[in-house]
Structure 1
Amino acid sequence: MNPKVCKTLEYAKVKQELKPYLLTQDGLEIVEQLKPSSDFLAVQTQLLETKDGVDILRLKGDLPLSKLFSIKAQLKRLEIQANLSAKELAAICRLLRCSGEIKSFFAKLKQEEVKLSQLYDLVDGLETLPEISKHLLVAIELDGYVTDEASGLLKSLRRQIATTESQIREQLAQLTKGKDAKYLSDAVVTIRNDRYVIPVKSEYRTYFGGIVHDQSSSGQTLFVEPRAMVELNNRLKQQQVAEKEEINRILAAFSEQLAPYTKQLALDAQILARLDFVNAKAKYAKQLNATQPLLSENNEIHLRKAWHPLLEAKKAVKNDILLGKDYQAIVITGPNTGGKTITLKTLGLVQLMGQSGLFIPAGEESTLAVFKEIFADIGDEQSIEQSLSTFSSHMTNIVEILNNADEHSLVLFDELGAGTDPQEGAALAIAILDDLGAKGSYVVATTHYPELKAYGYQRPKTINASMEFDSQTLHPTYHLLLGIPGRSNAFDISYRLGLDQQIVANARQLISKDSQELDEMIADLVKKRQDAKEEQIMFKHYLTQAQQLHEELENNYHKFLNERESMLEKARKQANEITEQTRQKADELISELRKLKLESAANIKENELSDVKGRLNALEQPLNLQKNKVLKKAKKQQSFQPNDDVLVKTYGQRGVLLKKNGAHSWEVQIGILKMKIDEDDLEKIQVNESKTTRAHTSVKSARSSHVSPNLDLRGKRYEEALTEVDRYLDAALLAGYQSVTIVHGKGTGALRQGITNFLQQHRSVKRFEFAPPNAGGNGATVVYFK
Structure 2
Amino acid sequence: MNERILRVLEFNKIIEQLKENAATSLGQDAAAHVKPATDFDRVLEMHEETDEAAQIVRLNEAIPLGGVVDIRANLKRSVIGSMLTTTECLDVANTIYGGRRVKDFIEKLEMDLPILKAQVEQIVPLRELEQEIKNCIDDHGRVMDSASQKLRGLRSSIRTFESRVRDKLDNYTKTNSNMLSDAIVTIRNDRYVLPVKQEYRGSIGGIVHDQSASGQTLFMEPKAVVDLNNQLQEATIKEKQEIERILQALTVQIASQETYLQENVSVLASIDFIFSRAKLGNKMKAAKPKMNNRGIIKMQQARHPLIPVDEVVANDVEIGESYTSIVITGPNTGGKTVTLKMVGLCTLMAQSGLQIPALDGCELAVFNDVFADIGDEQSIEQNLSTFSSHMTNIVNIIEDVDDQSLVLLDELGSGTDPQEGAALAMALLDEVISRDARVIATTHYPELKAYGYNREQVVNASVEFDVETLQPTYRLLLGVPGRSNAFEISKRLGLNDTIIDRAKGLIGVDSKGVDNMIASLEKAQLGAEHDYQQAHDTLLDSEKLKEQLEKEWHNFEGQREALFKKAEEKAEKALTNAREEAELIVDEIRKMKTNAGLKEHEWIEAKKMLEEAQPNLSKKQQDKVKKPSPSNTELYPGDEINLLTINQKGTVLEKIDKNEYLVQVGIMKVKVKRKDLQFIGKQKQVVERPLATVKGSSYHVSTELDLRGERYEDALLKLEKYVDDALLAGYPKVSIIHGKGTGALRKGVQEFVKKHPGIASARQGTMGEGGSGVTVIAFA
1:615 maps to 609
Q: CA deviation at 1:545?
A: 12
* Alpha-carbon distance between aligned partners in 2 of 1:535 and 1:51, rounded to the nearest angstrom: 35
Return the match for 2:169 from 146, 168, 172.
172
* Contact kept in structure 1, 2:482 and 2:518, CA below 8 Å: no
- 1:154 equivalent to 2:161? Answer no
- Corresponding residue for 1:255? 251
Report the equivalent of 1:77. Answer: 77
Do the aligned partners of residues 202 and 602 (structure 1) sit closer, same or farther apart at CA in structure 2, a change above 3 Å counting? same
User: Does the C-alpha gap of structure 1 residues 192 and 503 become closer, same or farther in structure 2, counting only changes over 3 Å?
Assistant: closer
Show the counterpart of 2:677. Answer: none
CA distance in structure 1 between the partners assigned to 2:259 and 2:483 by the alignment? 64
TM-superposition CA deviations, 1:713-763 (whole Å, max 9, x none): xxxxxxxxxxxxxxxxxxxxxxxxxxxxxxxxxxxxxxxxxxxxxxxxxxx
Deviations 1:557-615 (A, max 9, x none): 99xx9xx99xx9xxx9xx9xxx9xxx9xx99x999999999xx9994435644543553
In 2, the alpha carbon distance for the partners of 1:366 and 1:625 equals 47
- State the secondary structure of the residue aligned to 2:257: helix
Tell me which residue corresponds to 1:705: none
For residues 267-306 of structure 1, give each alpha carbon's deviation from its aligned partner in whole angstroms, at most 9, with x where no partner exists.
Answer: 2112222232233333333433333333234322122223
Aligned to 1:765: none
CA distance in 1, matches of 2:440, 2:545: 40
Hey, what's the Cα distance between the residues in 1 that align with 2:604 and 2:282? 83
The answer for the alignment partner of 1:294 in structure 2 is 290
Q: Per-residue displacement from partner, 1:18-51 (whole Å, max 9, x unpaired)?
A: 3333332222221221111112222222233333
Instruction: Give me the whole-angstrom Cα distance separating, in 2, the residues matched to 1:209 and 1:351.
Output: 83
Aligned-partner residue type, residue 131 of structure 2 = K
Letter aligned with residue 161 of structure 1 = I
Pick closer, same or farther for the CA change 1:478–1:533 going to 2, 3 Å: closer
Corresponding letter in the other structure for 1:145: R
Question: Residue type matched to 2:403 in 1?
Answer: E
Match of 2:503 in 1: 507
Read off the aligned partner of 2:84 and give its amino acid letter.
L
Code of the aligned partner of 1:96: I
What pairs with 1:251-650 in structure 2 (closer than 5 Å)? 251-525=247-521, 527-528=523-524, 603-605=597-599, 608-609=602-603, 611-616=605-610, 618-619=612-613
Relative to structure 1, is the Cα distance of residues 388 and 514 closer, same or farther in structure 2, using a 3 angstrom cutoff?
Answer: closer
Q: Verify the 8 A CA contact 1:62 1:279 in the aligned structure 2.
A: no
Give the letter aligned to residue 612 of structure 1.
Answer: A
User: Given that residues 211 and 218 in structure 2 are in contact (C-alpha distance below 8 angstroms), is that contact kept between their aligned partners in structure 1?
Assistant: yes
Q: Separation in 1 of the partners of 2:538 and 2:101?
A: 44
Structure 1 residue 462: deviation in Å? Answer: 0.7
Indicate whether 1:96 and 2:96 are aligned: yes
Three-state SS of the structure 2 residue aligned to 1:54 is helix
Deviations 1:98-148 (Å, cap 9, x if unpaired)? 1122123223323xxx34353222222222212222332343234422223
Q: Which residue in 1 is equivalent to 2:128?
A: 131
Which range moves more in the overlay, 533-542 or 464-473? 533-542
Is this contact kept in 2: 1:176–1:188, CA < 8 A? Answer: yes
The 3 A distance-change label for structure 1 pair 130 and 293 is same
| Residue 138 (structure 2) aligns with | 141
Equivalent residue number for residue 6 of structure 2: 6
Q: Is the 8 A contact 1:466 1:486 kept in 2?
A: yes
* 2:122 is equivalent to residue 122 of structure 1: no
How far apart, in 1, do the equivalents of 2:539 and 2:293 lie?
A: 23
User: Would you say the 8 A contact 1:90–1:143 is kept in 2?
Assistant: no
Check conservation: 2:93, 2:129, Cα contact below 8 A: no
- Once residues 147 and 115 of structure 2 are traced to their aligned partners in structure 1, the CA distance between those partners, rounded to angstroms, is 39
Q: What is the match of residue 760 of structure 2?
A: none
Q: 1:398: Cα distance to partner?
A: 0.6
- CA–CA distance in 1 between the matches of 2:440 and 2:139? 55
Structure 2 residue aligned with 1:238:
234
Task: Name the CA distance, whole Å, in 2 between partners of 1:54 and 1:628.
Answer: 47
Structure 1 residue ranges (4+ consecutive) displaced by more than 6 angstroms after TM superposition: 533-551, 589-597, 620-629
CA contact (8 A) 1:93 1:142 kept: no
The residue identity in structure 2 corresponding to 1:317 is V
One-letter identity of the residue aligned with 1:228: A
Contact in 2 for aligned 1:127/1:268 (Cα 8 Å):
yes
Aligned equivalents of 1:544, 1:478: Cα separation in 2: 27
> d(CA) in 2 for partners of 1:627 and 1:175?
103
Partner of 1:97: helix, strand, or coil? helix
Could you report, residue by residue, the CA deviation over 1:490-548 in whole angstroms, capped at 9, with x for unpaired residues?
A: 12122222233243234333334444334333443465456657867997999999999
Q: Distance in 2 between matches of 1:489 and 1:281?
A: 43
Identity in percent: 47
3-state secondary structure, aligned to 1:118: helix
* Partner-residue secondary structure (3-state), 2:334: coil
Gaps of 5+ in 2: 624-780
Task: Verify: 1:195 aligned to 2:216, yes or no.
Answer: no
The verdict on how the C-alpha distance between 1:159 and 1:531 changes in structure 2, with shifts beyond 3 A counting, is farther
Structure 1 counterpart of 2:254, which letter?
L
* Matched AA of 1:489: N
CA spacing shift, 1:311–1:627, aligned 2, 3 Å: closer
Give the distance between the partners of 2:617 and 2:607, measured in 1 at CA.
Answer: 21
Please identify, of 100-109 and 414-423, the stretch whose mean Cα deviation from structure 2 is larger: 100-109
3-state DSSP of counterpart to 1:90: helix
Change (3 A) 1:611 1:53: closer
Alignment size in residue pairs:
621
In the TM superposition, residue 96 of structure 1 has moved relative to its aligned partner by 1.1
Correspondence list, 1:700-779, <5 A: none
User: Equivalent residue of 1:486, what SS?
Assistant: coil
SS in 2 for 1:273: helix
Q: 1:624 to 1:443 in 2, by over 3 A?
A: same
Q: 1 CA distance for matches of 2:204 and 2:409?
A: 90
Moved more, 337-346 or 202-211: 202-211
DSSP-derived class of the 1:464 partner:
strand
Give the secondary structure class of the aligned counterpart of 1:207.
Answer: helix
What's the CA shift for 1:63?
Answer: 2.0
1:23 maps to what in 2? Answer: 23
Q: Distance in 1 between matches of 2:538 and 2:44?
A: 27
Q: Aligned partners of 1:158, 1:546: CA distance in 2, in Å? A: 81
| CA shift for structure 1 position 421 | 1.3
- Please state how far the C-alpha of 1:84 moved relative to its aligned partner: 2.2
Q: CA deviation at 1:15?
A: 1.4
CA contact (8 A) 2:293 2:367 kept: no
Query: Does the Cα contact within 8 Å between 1:94 and 1:142 map onto a contact in 2?
Result: no
Give 5+ residue unaligned stretches, structure 1. 630-786
**CA gap 1:237/1:333 in 2 versus in 1, 3 angstroms:** same
* Deviation per residue, 1:629-682 (Å, 9 max, x gap): 9xxxxxxxxxxxxxxxxxxxxxxxxxxxxxxxxxxxxxxxxxxxxxxxxxxxxx
In 2: Cα distance, 1:538 partner to 1:122 partner? 47
Q: Distance in 1 between matches of 2:23 and 2:140?
A: 17
Q: Within 2, Cα distance between the matches of 1:401 and 1:332?
A: 20
